[in-house]
Each structure stands twice: as C-alpha cells, then as structure tokens.
Amino acid sequence: MSIPRNPTEQQRNFFQDVHEVVRLVPVGRVTTYGTIAHYLGARHGARMVGWAMMAAHTANEYVPAHRVINRNGLLTGKQHFATPTAMQEALEAEGIRVIDDQVQDFKRLLWDPATELE
DNA sequence: ATCCTGACCACCT
DNA sequence: CAGGTGGCCAGGA
C-alpha cells in the first residue's frame, strides 16, 4: 500500500480530517482507528483511517500517530514508524505503559472525540 | 478487468 | 467464546 502521488480533493480532505482529529488527542491519551472512522461518520471504513495514517508523516503539520492504535489497544502500526520501538517509546514518554505492544489501562486512556469533544 | 492485500471492525457461526 | 467472514475504499500486479 502506498500513498497516492496526486491525491484527489476528496482524499486530501479525508487525510486532513483524520489528521485534525488525531492532533486533538490530548497528551497521555490514545484513540483508535474505528473511533475516528465513527466520528467522521463511518462513511469510510476503519481501514481507510489506517490508510490515511500512512500519509501522517508526509503531512505539513505534526500528527501524533503514536496515539492511534487499534480497538484492542495494540500497537499495530508500529512497523510504520522510523524504528520498531519509536511508537512505544513515544507513548511511554507521555506516561503510558506499554507491555508487549499492549497499552496498559487502555480502556481508561481511550479518548473518544464523539463523547469527549462534544 | 480481476484478484489480492492493507496502521481495521462488526457481525455471524 | 474463539475463529471465520464480509465490508469498508484504494492501489498494485
């Protein structure tokens, strides 16, 4: 899978929407692909959120991609970071405990824009 | 055009 | 209750 060289208007908007939501995630909290998809109206599958995240490192503004994990609290996207440990280290630097790719106390740390943002 | 695969998830056996 | 399946949309072979 790769990022489109010349994204359509629709794709750029989708990327920006996803990135914007991710930037709203508070330090020390996490959110999930599915949550974002649902918040954006579920018009795109959760897979598309993950797809948009691949464009995170090419975005103009910083996107804390390490705060986006899957619904089980697993760091499924860590392979896409500069190093395999970068994601976990970024989370731990914010006070989040990660053991064996699993965010501890994940349920309490979960940040859902639909309910937290209003 | 067809089939496969993907930073996923909800639903159905 | 665990594993399988389909759906989501897009891109590459």
Measured to protein CB atoms, the chain B nucleotides within 7 Å are: 5-10
Tell me the nt nearest to A81, Cα to C1': B7
Single-letter amino acid, residue A16: Q
Shortest CA distance to A73 belongs to which of A41, A118, A111, A40?
A111
In the block, residue with structure tokens 């709203």: A24
Pairing of strands A68-69, A31-32: parallel
The domain spans of chain A are 10-110
Q: Which residues pair with A30 in a beta bridge?
A: A110
The fold for domain A10-110 equals Arc Repressor Mutant, subunit A (1.10.10)
pLDDT digits (tens, 9 = 90+) for A7-58: 778 787 889 999 999 999 999 999 999 999 999 987 788 999 999 999 898 8
pLDDT digits (tens, 9 = 90+) for A45-103: 899 999 999 989 888 899 999 999 999 999 999 999 999 899 999 999 999 999 999 99
Q: What is the pLDDT of residue A73?
A: 94
Give the C-alpha separation, A106 to A73, whole Å.
6
Report CA(A47)–C1'(B12) in Å, whole number: 20
Assign A1 a pLDDT band (cuts: 50, 70, 90).
low
Q: What is the pLDDT of residue A19?
A: 94
Element (H, E) at A99: strand A98-99
